[in-house]
Amino acid sequence: MLRTRELVRVLGPADRDRFIELAEQDPVVNVFADYRARLTNLDERWLGGQVWGRFVGDDLVAGCHLGANFVPVQCTPDDVGAFADVALRRRASVGTIVGPHDVVAALWEEVEARWQRPREVRASQPHLEMDRLPSVAPDPSVRLTTPRDLDLLYPACVAMYTEEVGVSPENDSGGGDLYRARVQQLIGRGWSLASFDERGVVFKAEVACATPYAAQVQGVWVRPDRRGEGLATRGMASVVHHVIGTGVAPVVSLYVNDWNTAARATYARVGFEQTATFSTVMF
C-alpha cells in the first residue's frame, strides 16, 4: 500500500498536457475531465477541487477529478484503490461519484463502509454518442437563449434539476445563487438552447462541457403539459444541429438513466447510439 501511495499525487499546471493526453485516450467518455483541465489548467484556485494522477515510473496511467464530482479518468477497477483514501479525505465536498460502471462499482466497493450512505445509486446509465447530423427535422423554434430569457429559463432549469436529481438546487447554502450563476454562464457561452410559448419554456437543453473532440449535453427537459408531442425529439435534433453544425464539437454525448424508457426512445429516434455504461452514486 505504501508503494501505491508514493505513485499517486496531486496534479498541477505543469501536468496539464499529460493529463489531457490521458483523457484523450477516450475523449468522449472523458469529456468532462478533459474540459475542466483545459478550462482551469489544473490550477486548484479555478478547479474548486483537485485532480490526482497515478504514475508508473514517469508515465501517468490513471487520474481522477475530485471536486463536487468524483470522476475517474482512464481508470481500471485495479486503479481505484490508489484513489480511495484521497476520495475519503474529501468526501464531505463530493456530491456525486460518476463514470464508467465497472470503475464506479469497484471504487464504491472500496469506500462504501467508510462513506456516508448515498442518497441514491444509479447503477446503469447508458452513455450515448452521435457524430452526424440527424435525419429528424430540427424544431425551428429552438434557439440559443439570451440574458433576456433568464427570468423564464431559470425556473425551468430548477424544475428539471429537481425532477432529475430529487432535490432542488435552491437548497444549497447560497439559496440557489450558484445555480442561477451557472445558468447565466451557459447562456453567455452560447450553450443554452430552448423554445418558448406564452407560458414560458417548452423545451430546453444545455451543453455542459465541450472540447475539440466532443460535447456533453445535460438538462434535457420538456414542460410536463407539453409532453407527448414529439418536442423532445425535434428539440434534441436542434441541439445536435447546433453542436455539430456550428462547430462546437464533432460528437454529441450524454448519459441517461436506464429506467427512463421515454428519454431513451427519444435519443434513439434522433440517432444516438450507446457506446458505454455509466454509474452515478449520489449523496
Q: Which residue has the cell 456530491?
A: 95
Helix, strand, or coil here: 125? Answer: strand
Q: Do residues 56 and 155 share a domain?
A: no
CB 83 within 8 A of CB 108: no
Helix, strand, or coil here: 55? Answer: strand
Last residue in a domain, options 81, 116, 151: 116
pLDDT for 176 equals 76
Q: What is the rounded CA–CA span in Å between residue 149 and residue 193?
A: 11
Residue 127 lies in a domain: no
Q: Do residues 108 and 159 share a domain?
A: no
Residue 133 lies in a domain: no
Q: Do residues 148 and 272 share a domain?
A: yes
Q: Which domain holds residue 200?
A: 143-277
Q: Do residues 179 and 253 share a domain?
A: yes
Give all strands of the β-sheet with 215-222 in edge-to-edge order.
8-10, 50-56, 59-66, 69-73, 96-100, 273-282, 120-130, 252-255, 215-222, 200-210, 192-197, 143-144
Residue 124 lies in a domain: no
Residues of the chain with pLDDT under 70: 1-6, 173-175
* CATH code, domain with 183: 3.40.630.30
Q: What is the rounded CA–CA span in Å between residue 158 and residue 234?
A: 22
C-alpha distances (whole Å) from 209 to each of 68, 76, 84, 114, 265 are 15, 24, 26, 32, 24
pLDDT for 253 equals 98
Q: What is the rounded CA–CA span in Å between residue 23 and residue 97?
A: 17
Q: What is the rounded CA–CA span in Å between residue 270 and residue 223?
A: 19
Q: Do residues 157 and 96 share a domain?
A: no
The number of distinct structural domains making up the chain is 2
Residue 187 lies in a domain: yes
Contact partners, residue 161, CB within 8 Å, separation at least 6: 168, 169, 179, 219
Residue 239 grid coordinates: 441541439
- Over its C-alpha atoms, the chain yields an Rg (Å, rounded) of 19
Residue 136 lies in a domain: no
Residue 121 lies in a domain: no
Last residue in a domain, options 99, 116, 133: 116
Residue 152 lies in a domain: yes
CB 255 within 8 A of CB 278: yes
pLDDT for 276 equals 98
Q: Is residue 57 packed enough to be buried (19+ CB in 10 Å), middle (13-18) or exposed (0-12)?
A: exposed
Residue 202 grid coordinates: 417548452
The pairing of beta strand 192-197 with beta strand 200-210: antiparallel
